[in-house]
């Protein structure tokens, strides 16, 4: 199955054979929004993705179309790398910038050395409690639906692995971190837990997924550029596309 990167040529055979494409998800789009846009623009019925990104996040999304959807499962378990900007001293109900502020604390006493020490400590295998605002299901009910009703339920801690964590910049109260993590790791929860260990709370302010396995964000198509390229070289979609 061909994996399309931004400098790869696009030709009509892809509509029949199916493909995998590396797409840079725009901010404020859900992963399903991207899939839906590609499905309608390319006139291909079967389109899916290999790993959800939160709407406020940007970055690498692996999309499969036509027969390419059958190959998506091979990408699901790959490690992922993120660049995260974490805001110390503010906690929200969603653990990120989209949520309601529930607590604020002074961070003036926190030093770069304090933050680096905790980042270094939070590596390797660990248990992580999924956030209430997540798609994880408890007894068939997505947690975020319960959270929106003001309900909080006990969540079983999940085993995750932080393979690598590195501070990229420190501009108090903001810290930028690069993280390489296992499947199922919530970066929002990582930010929350970092704040708890520092004693001042924290939330995730920005997030970009830069790598999935060996595939890099730099290799990805901008969504609109991919669609325009397709339309120019393959066309608006014909009966072969619709059957893909």
Which residues form the catalytic set? 54
φ/ψ of 182, rounded to 5, equals -80, 170
In the chain, % helix, strand, coil (3-state, to 5) comes to: 30, 35, 35
Task: Classify burial at 227, counting beta carbons within 10 Å of its beta carbon; exposed 0-12, middle 13-18, buried 19 or more.
Answer: middle
> Sign (positive/negative) of CA torsion 149, 154, 156, 158?
positive
CA distances to 83, 109, 110 from 24, in Å: 14, 38, 35
Tokens of 96: 């990120």
Q: Residue 56: which of 152, 159, 191, 154 has the closest Cα?
A: 191
How far are the Cα atoms of 4, 58, 81, 137, 211 from residue 215, in angstroms, in the given order?
11, 15, 10, 29, 6
Say if residues 49 and 63 touch (Cβ distance below 8 Å). yes
């Amino acid at each position: 199955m061909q994996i399309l990167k931004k400098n790869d040529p696009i030709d009509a055979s892809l509509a029949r054979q199916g493909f995998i494409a590396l797409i840079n998800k725009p901010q404020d789009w859900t992963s399903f929004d991207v899939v839906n846009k590609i499905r309608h623009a390319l006139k291909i019925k079967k389109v899916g993705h290999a790993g959800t990104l939160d709407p406020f996040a940007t970055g690498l999304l692996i999309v499969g179309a036509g027969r390419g959807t059958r190959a998506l499962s091979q990408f699901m378990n790959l490690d992922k790398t993120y660049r995260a900007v974490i805001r110390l001293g503010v906690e929200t109900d969603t653990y990120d910038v989209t949520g309601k502020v529930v607590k604020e604390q002074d961070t003036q006493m926190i030093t770069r050395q304090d933050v680096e020490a905790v980042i270094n400590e939070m590596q390797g295998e660990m248990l992580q409690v999924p956030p209430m605002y997540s798609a994880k299901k408890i007894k068939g009910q997505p947690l975020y639906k319960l959270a929106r009703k003001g309900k909080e339920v006990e969540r079983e801690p999940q085993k995750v692995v932080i393979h690598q964590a590195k501070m990229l910049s420190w501009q108090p109260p903001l810290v930028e971190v690069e993280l390489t993590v296992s499947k199922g790791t919530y970066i929002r929860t990582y930010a929350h837990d970092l704040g708890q260990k520092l004693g001042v709370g924290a939330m995730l302010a920005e997030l970009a997924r830069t790598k999935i396995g060996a595939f890099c964000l730099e290799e990805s198509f901008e969504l609109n550029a991919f669609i325009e390229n397709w339309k120019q070289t393959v066309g608006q979609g014909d009966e072969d596309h619709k059957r893909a």
